[in-house]
Amino acid sequence: MSRQSEASISAQSGSEAIQWATAIPFFLVHLMSLWAIQTGVTLELVLLAIGSYYLRMLAITAGYHRYFSHRSYKTSRVFQFLLAFLAMTSAQKGVLWWAAHHRHHHKYSDQPQDRHSPVQRGFWYSHVGWILTNEYDQTEFSNVQDLMKYPELRLLNRFHYVPPFLYALLIYMIWGFPGLVWGFFISTTVLYHCTFFINSLTHIIGSVRYDSRDGSRNSFILAVVCCGEGWHNNHHYYQSSVNQGWRWWEVDSSYYLLVLLSWFRIVWDLRTPPDHIKANVYVPGN
C-alpha cells in the first residue's frame, strides 16, 4: 500500500472518529431518562413531557427546517431570534449548523455525498452515527451565507449549549427533579429520534407520489408525530414550500401554526406549491 493511500485511510478514519464533546452529552441525556424509574409516572409528568416535545418539535420543523433551511416564509428579526433560540433548546446543535447540513443534504440527497443517506451509509449511520463524528461537527458557513449577516445567530450557533441548559434549568425550577427527567431528558430523547427518523426512515419506508430523484417517502404516522415532516416525498419534490402536506388529509401541524401566526402578521409571505406541481404525480415506468 502506498503512503498516499495510507494517509488517505488515516484521514478518513480520523474524520469518522467519535466526537466526544457531542457524544457524551448525547448519551447522558439518554441515561438520565432512566431516572424515570425513581421519579415514577404521573399524568402531570407525562403531559409535561408531551408538551415539551411538541413545543420544541414545532420550533425545529417551523424554524430550523422550513424557515432557516428553506426560507419558505418571512418573519421579523426578533421572531427569527426567538425561533432559533427555542429550536436550540432541542439540543440539536446550533441554528447555522443545522441549516447548513440540511441544505447540503438536499443538494446531494441519497447521492454518495449525502451525509445521512440510509441508501448510501445504512440505517444507523444515517439515523444518528453521522452526528457523532468529527467529520460533521463543524458548521459549513459557506452553505448559510444568507444567515451569516445576523450576529445574534452567529452568537447562538457558537454557544449552542446555552439554550438547552437554560431550558432544562427553567423546567427544574418549576417542576423540580421529576419535571427535569420527564420534561427535558425523556422529552429530548424522544425528540432526538423522531427528528432523526425523518433522515433515516423516510428514505426507506413509505409511499412515493412524486419523482424526487431520491429515496424520499411519505409517512402518515411520522407526519402526525413530527408535526407534518412525514410528508417527506412531497417536500423533496418541492422543498421551498412552507407546507408539506398537500392533500386535505395530510396532517401538517407546523403549517397550521404558521398560518395562525400569519393572521397576526408574525410571519408572512408563506410559499405554497403551485397546482401544476402538486398535479405532477409520479407514474412508474414513465
Give residue 88's Cα distance to chain centre: 10
pTM of the model: 0.92
Express as a percent the part of the chain with pLDDT over 70. 93
How many contiguous H segments (helices) and E segments (strands) does the chain have?
A: 15, 2
Within 10 angstroms of residue 257's Cβ, the number of other Cβ atoms is 16
* Residue 115 · residue 104 · CB < 8 Å: yes
Per-residue model confidence (pLDDT) at position 16: 74
- Domain boundaries along the sequence of the chain: 19-206
- Mean pLDDT value of segment 127-136: 93
**Does the pLDDT of residue 93 top 80, yes or no?**
yes
pLDDT at 12: 43
- How far is residue 243 from each of residues 13, 61, 189, measured CA to CA in Å? 40, 11, 26
Which DSSP state fits 136? T
pLDDT of res. 282: 72
49: left (phi over 0), alpha (psi -120 to 50) or beta: alpha
Mean pLDDT calculated for residue range 196-215: 96
Q: Which helix (H) or strand (E) holds 171?
A: helix 162-180
Residues with Cβ within 8 Å of residue 35, at least 6 apart in sequence: 177, 181, 185
Which residue matches cell numbers 426560507?
71
